Amino acid sequence: MNGRLLLASLVLLATVLFALAPLYRHGDVPIAIHHLLHALILFGAALAALLFTWPGAPRAPGRVPWLLITLLSPLAAMLLMWPSEYSVFEREPALHALQHLGLVLFGFLTAYAGQRFAAGIGIAMSATMLLMGLLAAGGFGVSPPLQVH
């Protein structure tokens, strides 16, 4: 195993261990902080996928299925960050860990499928996914009370 694959494996392992945190660490986390922690999971998973695929990604645009996977995975990740689920997950650590593993999967798929489609697209799609994850902390399930009814 060369150094790059070793590093990719270590990053993925660290991300999975971090994702399993609900199994060994309990406590309420505000929704905005929760979103940011999820963005960190997405980042780790995407980074691992980029390291795995680097530098063997095809230069010319590839097949449609890879493009659809890299398009849909960030959307699936955002749906997994459905804010009203968090209170349920806080009570069910195993379910919570499973949700985190789903984020690892979708983060990884975004980068991996993007790079399999064409070099650079995995990076671009990972960056936009990370942007979505970070921005979610600003208002997805987080708000001052509405003044209209």
Residue 120 within binding range of another protein, rule CB under 8 A: yes
Residue 69 within binding range of another protein, rule CB under 8 A: no
Which residues lie closer than 8 Å to 50 by C-beta, 6 or more apart?
111, 115, 122, 123, 126
Among 61, 88, 92, 94, binds another protein (CB under 8 A): 61
Among 90, 95, 105, 140, binds another protein (CB under 8 A): 140
Q: Closest separation between CB of residue 12 and another protein, Å?
A: 24
Q: What are phi and psi of 96, to 5 degrees?
A: -60, -45
Which residues between 1 and 60 bind another protein (CB under 8 A)? 59-60
Six token digits for residue 126: 């990972």
Whether the Cβ atoms of residue 122 and residue 49 lie closer than 8 Å to each other: yes
Whether the Cβ atoms of residue 103 and residue 130 lie closer than 8 Å to each other: no
Listed residue (129, 114, 101) closest to 39, CA to CA: 129
Interaction site with another protein (CB under 8 A): 59-61, 63-64, 67-68, 70-71, 74-75, 78-79, 82-84, 114, 117-121, 124-125, 128-129, 131-132, 135-136, 138-146, 148-149
